[in-house]
Structures are given as C-alpha cells and as structure tokens.
Structure 1
Amino acid sequence: MLLASDPAARHSLAFRTGLTLAAAALIALGAKVQVPFWPVPMTLQTLAVLVIAAGLGPRLGLAAMGAYLAAGLAGLPVFAGSPERGIGLAYLAGPTTGFLMGMALAMLVTGRLAQHGGFGMRVLAMLAGTIAIYVPGLIWLSGFVPSDRLLAAGVAPFLLGDIVKIALGSLLLEAGARLRR
C-alpha cells in the first residue's frame, strides 16, 4: 500500500508525516485544477481524495484530509474557488462544506474497502466513497438550496465527471499496483 520499499521506512513517523503532507498538497492541487467538462467544469479534488484513500488506506487518507482542512481553516487558499469565495471560516460557512466533510468520510470508506481486494473492489470502494461525499454534502447543501432542486444542483451536474474520475482513479491505482509487482 505505501510507496517505500523498506518496511522500516514505511513505518517511520517522518515517512508517514511526509506522505500525509504530500497527499494534503495533492488534494489542494486537485481543488485548484479545473478541467473543462460537460455539463459543468470539474476539479480533480475528488479524484485525488479517492486515489489517496484507496492507495494509502483510511488512516493516512483521513490524516491527509485533516491536514488539508486545517490548512484551509487556517486561511490558506486551498479550497476550490478560494480566495474568491472566501477563506477560512468564511469559506466553510458556504454551501460546499458538507462535501468537504464527505471527503473525510470518503477517506475512511474508500480506504477501508479498497484494502480488501483487487481492481473490482477498488472500483466499488471509490463508488462507495463518492456516495459518502454526496450524503453529507447534500445534507449541508439543503440549507442553501430548496429541496425540490437539491439533486439538480448538488448531484446531476457532477455525475458524469464522477464516473470519469472513478474510472481514471481505478486505472491509475491498477497501473501503480502493476509497477510494484
């Protein structure tokens, strides 16, 4: 699961801390990258979250998401749309906070499920992680969007992009697994 070939290095605090911070930076980078897509542009943030969770497992994945959220809470412009849509607590008062909490949940769900199998299980783990992002995201978003428009605003525009990200993430993880063999 981890990248270092030396078992002692994999378990060192310095290695795990560095890996966690690198993963948090990857989440931030993914939040900033916008890919033209239909029906809405997509960021690569959820791709980063799902790949990190499946590749590093639930503990390091959650630690990375915690570091990312802490950086954003401290005022660093790591969130998608920041600083334009606010930073720190001002950003977290907005409509996307539930999705960020869902990403933390996805780290646990995806990371745990991906440990139990090969390619097919990783695909299912990423699908479950995507659902874990949507559930708290929609609950939070319901405070900003009328209930009759909730799915149209919070799910429908993103489904196709999420399917592409699950496919791409699964293929990336499979390629990584084959390289390690």
Structure 2
Amino acid sequence: MQLIKENTESQLVKSLLIIFIGSIILTVSAKIKIPFYPVPMTMQTFIVLFLGISFGYKIALATVSLYLLEGILGLPVFSNSPERGVGLAYFTGPTMGYLIGFLSACFLASLVKNDDNYFLIFFKLIFSVSTIYIFGILWLGTLIGWDKPIFTLGVMPFLVAEIFKICLLTLITKKIIKLRKFI
C-alpha cells in the first residue's frame, strides 16, 4: 500500500513539474519570432500540439490553462506582451479567441495515435490547429466587426507557417509518442 502511495505522489510531482516547465516553454515559444513571410512565425501552435501529442490531454490542458492563467494574472507570457499590454486587458484583446483555441487544439492533438498513418496524423493535426483559427476569427470578428476581411486578417497570413509546422510535427509524431512511455 505504501509503494502505491509513493508512486502516486511521485507521478503527481512529475506531472506538476511537466505542467510548469511546459508553460515556460510555451512562453518562450511565444516570444521567439522566426522571420517568415508575410508574418513572423512563433512556435506557439507547434508547442500546443506537441504538448497534446507528448503528454496526453490532461497534462496538455493543464499546461495551456496555467499559461493562460499566468497571462490573465499579468505575467508577460503572451506573444506581444508587455509591449501591447498585460493581464486581462491583453487577454481580451484581438488574440483571445486564438488563445482559447489552444485548449481545443491540444486536446484534439492528444487523439493522434501511434498506429495512425502519416496521412491521418497530418489531417488530425490540421483539424486540431484549425480550431485555434476558428475560435480566433470568431472572437476577432466580434471584436472588430464582421464587415472587415476577418479571414484575410486573422488566418491567411499564418497559413504557410502552419502548414510547415504541421508537416514537421507529422514527421516526428510517431517518435514523440514512442518517447511518451518513458515519461
């Protein structure tokens, strides 16, 4: 009985450590901008999907939730903070829908299985990342008005970068899932 209790406590500590480190990695991925045309690319969506694939939906959702909470509480974790503000004011700005979409994307990415073929992995990841943009344009349209070219502003500039990230993740997903059993 004692061994089970120690193992459970050890697993809890390990999970909390992964969640904390994951939120730091997500923050770093938001801050590093990679020159890409037409909009600089961050690796946030890559990390969000990576979390779901690597650790499953529970840890991924907890990690993204911690990241969002840190930002809401005023820590400068988001991509354009502190330059464009911090806290709830930044969170409820134009990017809120995308940030909320991180939750659905990491959950859906966790559904990728090792026995999926590369074609299926690619489409599951496309679907996962699409939810980020669906939530994003729904909020953006509500915020700035539906008379604006929402898709052109909120999705088009990021498509090439997203395809690149999805292709990269598709190629390494089976290796990531195999490593999961060691964590």
Structures share fold, TM-score greater than 0.5: yes
CA contact (8 A) 2:52 2:107 kept: yes
Change (3 A) 1:161 1:115: same
CA contact (8 A) 1:10 1:16 kept: no
CA contact (8 A) 1:9 1:15 kept: no
The equivalent residue for 2:131 is 132
The equivalent residue for 2:159 is 159
Paired residue secondary structure (2:149): helix
TM-score (norm 1): 0.86
1:122 aligns with 2:121: yes
The equivalent residue for 2:105 is 106
Q: CA deviation at 1:124?
A: 2.4
Q: CA deviation at 1:58?
A: 1.0
Change (3 A) 1:175 1:117: closer
Q: CA deviation at 1:144?
A: 1.5
Q: CA deviation at 1:75?
A: 0.8
User: How far apart in 2 are the matches of 1:172 and 1:116?
Assistant: 11
% identity of equivalent residues: 34
Long gaps (5+) in structure 1: 1-7
TM-score (norm 2): 0.85
The equivalent residue for 1:150 is 150
Q: CA deviation at 1:39?
A: 1.2
Q: CA deviation at 1:34?
A: 0.3
User: How far apart in 1 are the matches of 2:136 and 2:174?
Assistant: 29
Amino acid at match of 1:42: M
User: How many aligned residue pairs are there?
Assistant: 173
Long gaps (5+) in structure 2: 1-6
- RMSD between aligned residues: 2.2
Structure with bigger gyration radius: 2
User: How far apart in 1 are the matches of 2:179 and 2:95?
Assistant: 36
Q: CA deviation at 1:132?
A: 1.1
Amino acid at match of 1:52: L
